[in-house]
Amino acid sequence: MEQLSRVFVPTVLETSGNAIGLGCFSTEQVAWQVLRSFLKKSEQMSLDSASIVIWDIDVIGHDAMTELTNLVVRECPVCQRKTMWFDLDQYSAICYGTACSAWIEENLHEKDIIDCGFPPTQYLKQTKSIDEAITELTNLGNKIRSAGEDVTNSMYNQTDVSQAISND
Ligand SMILES: [Zn+2]
């Protein structure tokens, strides 16, 4: 077996300052899977931030670590739960709240375009900034709520929600 030279370590910080270690893994892919599945608990916990750090094995001190990703959690503009995780380096965000999954991401092809979406109703919009994307998603959430629908309830009627937001 090939000797392991580095490990990927996902960690989540609670608002109390307590760090929750999620283990150390031989690949980035598995570290992400473990972190993502943990972040689904966001709505039941009081979390603040999360990271994945790469540690080189048998290297002493600070040089041994490289921060791969750093996420902070904020209130989701659509479902209004503190379940939207922002990657500030890559300008992307996704809500891990049940039945929501609203997202914001830099467009892959045009760097001045920020895409945002709400998969349950196939909503997709292109904007010019993160702020504008957040405003769009906030408006979307308001429309859904004013139509009497609850996006935090996984049993909500997607057709009704789609109709509510389509009469723009
Ligand atoms: Zn949400």
The C-alpha atoms of residue 80 and residue 77 are separated, in whole angstroms, by: 6
Nearest by Cα to 160 from 141, 140, 138, 144 = 144
CA 152 to centroid of ligand 1, rounded, Å? 8
Domains of the chain, by residue range, sit at 1-73, 75-149
CA 57 to centroid of ligand 1, rounded, Å? 38
pLDDT tens for 91-102 read 899 999 998 999
Over residues 28-48, the mean pLDDT reads: 96
CA 7 to centroid of ligand 1, rounded, Å? 31
pLDDT tens for 106-136 read 998 988 999 999 998 889 999 999 999 999 9
Residue 125, CA distances (Å) to 66, 87, 147, 148, 161 in order:
34, 19, 20, 23, 16
* pLDDT at residue 158 in the model: 65
Q: Could you give the percent of the chain with pLDDT greater than 90?
A: 73
157 pLDDT more than 80: no
pLDDT tens for 61-97 read 989 999 999 999 999 999 999 999 999 888 899 999 9
Averaged pLDDT score across all residues of the chain? 91
- The protein residues having their C-beta less than 5 angstroms from ligand 1 (an ion) are 76, 78-79, 95, 97, 100, 102
CA 30 to centroid of ligand 1, rounded, Å? 24
CA 1 to centroid of ligand 1, rounded, Å? 43
* Predicted structure pTM score: 0.86
